[in-house]
Structure 1
Amino acid sequence: MAKGASWLVICTAWLPAQAQTKQSAKGPLELAKQYYAAGEYYTAAHLYEQYLNPPKDPKKDQAFPVYANKRKAPIDKNTRSAILYQMAECYRLANYWEQADSLYKACTGNPDALYWSVVCERSLGKYDEAKEKITGYTPKDQQISELVEKERGTLRFIDSQLMRPDASLTTVRKLRMPGSYEKGSFALVPVSGNRYLISSTRTDSPAVAGSNPNNSHLFYAVLNKDSLGKLAALSLPSDGLMSNQGAATVSPDGNCIYFTQWQKVNGRTVSAIYVIKKNNGRWSGAELLEQVNNHVSNSKQPFCTADGKYLFFASDRPGGLGGFDIWYAPLQGDGSAGEPVNAGAVINTDGDEQAPFYHTSSGSLVFSTNGRQGMGGYDLFTAKGRETTWGQPVNLGYPVNSSRDDVYFYAPEKTALLADAVIGSDRGAGCCLETYRVNKTPKNNRLTGQVFDSKTHKPVTGAGIVLTTPSGKTTRTTTDETGNYVFDSVDNTTTGFTITVNKDAYDDTLAVVTITKTDESNLLTDQLFNTDIYIAKKFVLRPENVVTVYFDFDKYNLKTEAVNKLDSVYKVLVELPTTTLQISGYTDGRGSDEYNKVLSDRRARACADYFIQKGIAAGRISFASFGACCPLEMELINGRDNPDGRSKNRRALINITKE
């Protein structure tokens, strides 16, 4: 079964009965060359086989109904070797790696066969055999020599991928679907709920004379756990239909389905993007999507973004960087598209890029390419950004990618990119691309940060750190000698997380977690850096350096006696420029807590303002208010009011600190 390089053609090799009658007069070698030129590699391989080993009665060969006149002349050794090599080429191009490898090994006199045997063994996962075979291999042909060096790079990359520590976090398993082994299944896209569109092959009936009845079509399917069932063909009006449809995408409102149509023309696959629109519950005929198509190039594999603003697609239209490039076009309200824009040189290469998917919630573009270092064939890459502003593409790695072709990708929005994704790959033993489910366990998230003294800016050692989640769950740790703290296994998001810092001689400090940087370089752990936390030392009064001033009941203006005391403190501040003040305000026990808090604050501020007005820098002064806290004298004695005691509690304490 031939698989085109574009991963659009999915069909069983077939020669129409009418064509068989016309061609039967030709010999198998002539027919084989004709089918090879037309890209029907599987059919060509069997015709070469007929030429080398003619069946007794080819018309009764039910396994392969294409037949030709028997060969009559014997085959010399050189001709046989050349035909074996050509058969190997056919099987390789049809992605039948086992058959191709055995034939290349039989071509002992062909130096190029060794290289292609290495490619086959790598594709079959026989990495050690491939590395052993390619060691010391120095072909004379310059083109093959370059390919050999590239294959060495591929094998080295595979080694690095197989040793990835995060490979154990990812599981990849094939979705069960009736007939996918024989007919393939690819390009899964959501419709609604657990209902999806998928592309697969069926035999059209009645077959049109002279054309291949095995064509790709779109099917509805229901995804239940790891099975795709309840397949039902998408019923499309016959207007505007070509022989093959697939690789579709559905607009967010469900009113447009954009899809690829293709057919073989003179041995090459010609593709274009079409749209059907829903009107009063009925689908319109297929319309060629203007702007994204033109008569000199191919366009395919559309993807509509979750916000409905853009249509990404692959095209070999003029203005690109290589073969097929990733392009995007703005979508209009009526489902039409605007002028396409190339995604740029950061994404596209001189190779082929195809099957774009954009994950809006993570800002990630996923695409398949054979133009970058990968594990072989097409690999899936992802790049952060949007439109023409992209970060450097990153290989999604093993086991998401394999040594075969890994092409289509889908992941639901508002989830991690690989938490529950679906890919297309031919890594299995089936004929074609099949659909695989990818589940990656989230990486460990490590939250780290530092605590500093707010005055000295030096790290604080031994501070107790409490991390609290929005649900109230707490985790505790302690800062090390560098003031650093670490929390492992935090949630994927730190929104609403808080940190409380406790340390003797310091005020308790509550801070909201604010991530300033994320280091994702480690394959198993993402490092989240919290903003630095600064904590202040407690306001400590020392009797030997404390000056007390008193206030009248319910007043905060400075009395003469108080001013005299403050003037003496002012002299110390002038004489010793490094000294600082800590001022605390108090009230007696009368009044509410709220009122006394405000009044004590005004008393402390009155003292601070006096020094500031005399020219002392505000940065040298700090103050706090304590209300009726901490009385020096009893205000009730044997149940009777004690006015003298209350007067001594209406005070401000000025603590002089010598640096």
Structure 2
Amino acid sequence: MNRIAIVLLVFLSYAAMAQVQLSTKSKKAIEYYTQADNYRVRGQFAQAIELLNQAIDKDDKFVEAYYRLGLVYQNMKNYAEALKNYEKGLSLTTDLRKQKTFWYDMGEAYIATGEYEKAMRVLSLFVNNETLNKQKLERAASLFKSAEFAFNNKDNVSAFHQKPLSDTVNCFATQYFPVLTADQQQLIFTRRTSNDPNADEDIVISGKDAQGRWITPVSISRNINSRLNEGTCAISADGRKLIFTSCVGRDGIGSCDLYETRKIGEDWTVPKNLGPNVNSVAWESQPTLSADGRTLYFVSDRRSGLGRRDIWVTSLDENGKWTKAVNAGKPINSVFDEISPFIHVNNKTLYFASNGLPGFGGYDLFFVEKDSAGWSAPKNIGAPINNHDDQFSLFITADGKKGYYSHEENAAGGTRSRIFEMQIPEENQLKYRSNYVRGIVRDKQTRQVLSAKIELINISKNQIESLVESDSVTGEYLMVLTQGADYALYVNKEGYLFKSLHFNYTETFDFKPVVLDVDLEKASIGSRVVLNNIFFDVDKYELKSTSITELKKIIRFLTENPKVRVEIGGHTDNSGAAAYNRSLSEKRALAVYNYLVSNGVDKGRLTPKGYGPDLPIAPNNTEDSRQLNRRIEFKIIK
């Protein structure tokens, strides 16, 4: 549970205990007891503990002093000492009003130490005896569900293999919230150089050497890091858009805001506040980006949420502006806290941490999956990743085989956080895993790199899945391809013919990254492109419905270039009679021609022609090369 929620419930517990008469007659004990609370509310726990122990020395049957001492230790997360004092104080009273107060807080402390059976016992006693405090009843019922879930599932442990990254990465006093690019070549995280929670936060980056080992992290950019805090961040799959948190020293709107920066060549742009559609006068942090960087999930404690901290979502509109953020709603958010979202590059699986859903205690990691009906019910990812400690900050690689997370542990001088890597067993891997295609976009004639738009379209749904741009300095692009769909990929640049590519990921694939450089031809007489997403059945010339995406792409190109006149050429391999093949190729070209004309294209701008096997682009000696020769081409003739 987060510290503010603990303080609120502690206040309610104090208020309940204050309504009953103190169990001691010792004025000195009461004096120490009262003084202790003045230190407790200021977070001066050492002084509070000393005074409460003095009160107990004056009267070792002082029930309320044991209770308050337990609460102080619980605030410090020293649950062993908290329970020792709770159990002692409870043993000294038969007053039901006081017993209920003990039972409630003991339940939470038992969960925090993994003693689930004991937690169920005391929480059950509280629920069966409390009749007035509705808020505490609801929270106790929620805690009981978590204790019951944990007790029933604690032995159901998956064989995750986890280990901390080397000291080369874990070289700071504390490091947390790791994110990676889709190619797993860059690791970005937040670091502090001391255990002081108020110490400066910066964003650092580590790459891999020739042996695949992570190298020493360095500051990500002078434009991003400052002498003030730069915290949790999100990265697009291609590593070229970064959203991060900053709380002071910038042009902020609220207590903590989200900022955006883009990588052009090797340099990051000066960060910009995401503006009032995303940020509010409240606290915004913990961003996560979709693969193409066009959808953003984040955490906010603004008042209009379902709980105190909720997950919110926004996306880029057609003009590249962030839309008004909306609450992610149920079943993701609850009346408690949801934090640390992570949207996998498949854009179908969202991980997050919650302290309001049945789990192993504190914050547990959950995931939901999206389909046409919306998000599924949250599912606990289970042990050993989840346990009675707080878990958050999870990142899963594109192929679903590895996970990265930060784990807090007690160390000399305070709490230390290190980054861990885990191997995910096959039975626990994502339903939809992802691959990627990457390369460089160039001008075919001059070989100059180009900044171009790359669209990924789900052919069966005829809808855009992703939209990215190649780097204006390097020409590099990266597009994520997710299992379970047939894709058309288009590379577009004003003044050039679009490039048409096809990726069938409906079946199982080997996740080997695709390296594909794209050469674009200027839209001039003689330039041509193969239409890789026009489909016919074998020996048929009726257009299949999956061709609609490509046909609409042609219409859009012709609309944007009204003076262009084109030839639609049909081609075949050399199998069978040449005359038959020429007839078939002409009928296929006519099928495309007829669709375009019926959808508003002036027929005077189109010339259909069937070439049969006469103009091969590959040898006809293998099935793969023959497939290349069976094609529809689009050529500018005027």
Q: TM-score, normalised by structure 2?
A: 0.51
Render the CA deviation track for 1:40-95: whole Å, top value 9, x for unaligned: x4xx22231344569xxxxxxxxxxxxxxxxxx99854997645544433442343
Deviation at 1:272, TM superposition (A): 2.1
1:377 matched residue in structure 2 = 362
Please give the residue correspondences for 1:477-488 in structure 2 after superposition, counting only pairs within 5 Å.
Answer: none
Please give the residue correspondences for 1:274-293 in structure 2 after superposition, counting only pairs within 5 Å.
Answer: 274-278=259-263, 281-293=266-278
CA–CA distance in structure 1, aligned partners of residues 166 and 59 of structure 2: 46
Q: Give yes or no for contact 2:244–2:258 (8 Å, CA) kept in 1.
A: yes
Letter in 1 for 2:45: A
Render the CA deviation track for 1:590-630: whole Å, top value 9, x for unaligned: xxxx99xxxxxxxxxxxxxxxxxxxxxxxxxxxxxxxxxxx
1:402 matched residue in structure 2 = 387
Residues 289 and 102 of structure 1: CA distance in aligned 2, closer, same or farther (over 3 Å): farther
1:187 matched residue in structure 2 = 177
Letter in 2 for 1:47: Q
CA–CA distance in structure 1, aligned partners of residues 241 and 164 of structure 2: 29
Aligned to 2:419, which of 399, 421, 435? 435
CA–CA distance in structure 2, aligned partners of residues 94 and 227 of structure 1: 38
Residues 114 and 259 of structure 1: CA distance in aligned 2, closer, same or farther (over 3 Å): same
Residues 76 and 296 of structure 1: CA distance in aligned 2, closer, same or farther (over 3 Å): farther
CA–CA distance in structure 2, aligned partners of residues 213 and 378 of structure 1: 22
2:405 matched residue in structure 1 = 423
Q: Give yes or no for contact 2:278–2:314 (8 Å, CA) kept in 1.
A: no
Q: Give yes or no for contact 1:352–1:371 (8 Å, CA) kept in 2.
A: yes
Render the CA deviation track for 1:375-422: whole Å, top value 9, x for unaligned: 222222211117993222222222232222211211111x23xx3112
Deviation at 1:313, TM superposition (A): 0.9
Please give the residue correspondences for 1:333-348 in structure 2 after superposition, counting only pairs within 5 Å.
Answer: 337-348=322-333
Aligned to 1:303, which of 256, 268, 288? 288
Gaps of 5+ in 1: 8-26, 55-72, 205-210, 446-491, 497-513, 516-593, 596-659
Say which SS state the counterpart of residue 47 (structure 1) adopts. helix
Residues 36 and 302 of structure 1: CA distance in aligned 2, closer, same or farther (over 3 Å): farther
Quick check: 1:356 aligned with 2:341?
A: yes
Q: Give yes or no for contact 1:245–1:259 (8 Å, CA) kept in 2.
A: yes
Deviation at 1:100, TM superposition (A): 3.0
1:104 matched residue in structure 2 = 86
Quick check: 1:170 aligned with 2:160?
A: yes
Letter in 2 for 1:202: T
Q: Give yes or no for contact 1:201–1:215 (8 Å, CA) kept in 2.
A: yes
Say which SS state the counterpart of residue 107 (structure 1) adopts. helix
Say which SS state the counterpart of residue 392 (structure 2) adopts. strand
Please give the residue correspondences for 1:29-40 in structure 2 after superposition, counting only pairs within 5 Å.
Answer: 37=41
CA–CA distance in structure 1, aligned partners of residues 300 and 152 of structure 2: 32
Letter in 2 for 1:246: G
Please give the residue correspondences for 1:386-401 in structure 2 after superposition, counting only pairs within 5 Å.
Answer: 389-401=374-386
Aligned to 2:193, which of 182, 199, 202? 202
Letter in 1 for 2:391: D
Quick check: 1:160 aligned with 2:152?
A: yes
Q: Give yes or no for contact 1:187–1:199 (8 Å, CA) kept in 2.
A: yes
CA–CA distance in structure 1, aligned partners of residues 423 and 137 of structure 2: 39
Say which SS state the counterpart of residue 366 (structure 2) adopts. strand
CA–CA distance in structure 1, aligned partners of residues 397 and 192 of structure 2: 25
Please give the residue correspondences for 1:445-464 in structure 2 after superposition, counting only pairs within 5 Å.
Answer: none
Render the CA deviation track for 1:308-355: whole Å, top value 9, x for unaligned: 221111123354322222222113799863321322323222222221
1:230 matched residue in structure 2 = 216
Q: Give yes or no for contact 1:291–1:337 (8 Å, CA) kept in 2.
A: no
1:327 matched residue in structure 2 = 312
Please give the residue correspondences for 1:56-135 in structure 2 after superposition, counting only pairs within 5 Å.
Answer: 77=59, 82=64, 84-108=66-90, 109=93, 110-111=98-99, 112-131=101-120
The Cα RMSD (Å) is 4.9
Letter in 1 for 2:148: R
2:526 matched residue in structure 1 = none
Say which SS state the counterpart of residue 443 (structure 1) adopts. helix
CA–CA distance in structure 1, aligned partners of residues 85 and 213 of structure 2: 37
Say which SS state the counterpart of residue 341 (structure 2) adopts. strand
1:554 matched residue in structure 2 = none
Q: Give yes or no for contact 1:29–1:51 (8 Å, CA) kept in 2.
A: yes
Q: Give yes or no for contact 1:276–1:285 (8 Å, CA) kept in 2.
A: yes
Letter in 2 for 1:438: M
Q: TM-score, normalised by structure 1?
A: 0.50
Deviation at 1:97, TM superposition (A): 2.7
Residues 156 and 364 of structure 1: CA distance in aligned 2, closer, same or farther (over 3 Å): same
Deviation at 1:189, TM superposition (A): 0.7
Residues 113 and 435 of structure 1: CA distance in aligned 2, closer, same or farther (over 3 Å): farther
Letter in 1 for 2:337: D
Letter in 1 for 2:79: W
Letter in 1 for 2:305: G
Residues 397 and 185 of structure 1: CA distance in aligned 2, closer, same or farther (over 3 Å): same
Say which SS state the counterpart of residue 297 (structure 2) adopts. strand
Letter in 1 for 2:116: Y
Deviation at 1:215, TM superposition (A): 3.9
1:244 matched residue in structure 2 = 229
Deviation at 1:221, TM superposition (A): 3.9
CA–CA distance in structure 2, aligned partners of residues 145 and 223 of structure 1: 52
Render the CA deviation track for 1:518-542: whole Å, top value 9, x for unaligned: xxxxxxxxxxxxxxxxxxxxxxxxx
Render the CA deviation track for 1:426-469: whole Å, top value 9, x for unaligned: 47788255433332322399xxxxxxxxxxxxxxxxxxxxxxxx
Letter in 2 for 1:385: K
Residues 136 and 286 of structure 1: CA distance in aligned 2, closer, same or farther (over 3 Å): same
CA–CA distance in structure 2, aligned partners of residues 91 and 220 of structure 1: 38
Residues 230 and 254 of structure 1: CA distance in aligned 2, closer, same or farther (over 3 Å): same
Letter in 2 for 1:118: G
Letter in 2 for 1:188: P
Q: Give yes or no for contact 2:255–2:281 (8 Å, CA) kept in 1.
A: no
CA–CA distance in structure 2, aligned partners of residues 28 and 331 of structure 1: 59
Rg larger in structure:
1
Please give the residue correspondences for 1:133-144 in structure 2 after superposition, counting only pairs within 5 Å.
Answer: 136=125, 138-140=128-130, 142=133, 143-144=135-136
Is 392-401 or 217-226 further displaced after alignment? 217-226
2:510 matched residue in structure 1 = none
1:150 matched residue in structure 2 = 142
Say which SS state the counterpart of residue 125 (structure 1) adopts. coil
CA–CA distance in structure 1, aligned partners of residues 170 and 3 of structure 2: 17
Residues 30 and 346 of structure 1: CA distance in aligned 2, closer, same or farther (over 3 Å): same
Q: Give yes or no for contact 1:366–1:382 (8 Å, CA) kept in 2.
A: yes
Q: Give yes or no for contact 1:236–1:285 (8 Å, CA) kept in 2.
A: no
Identity of aligned residues (%): 21
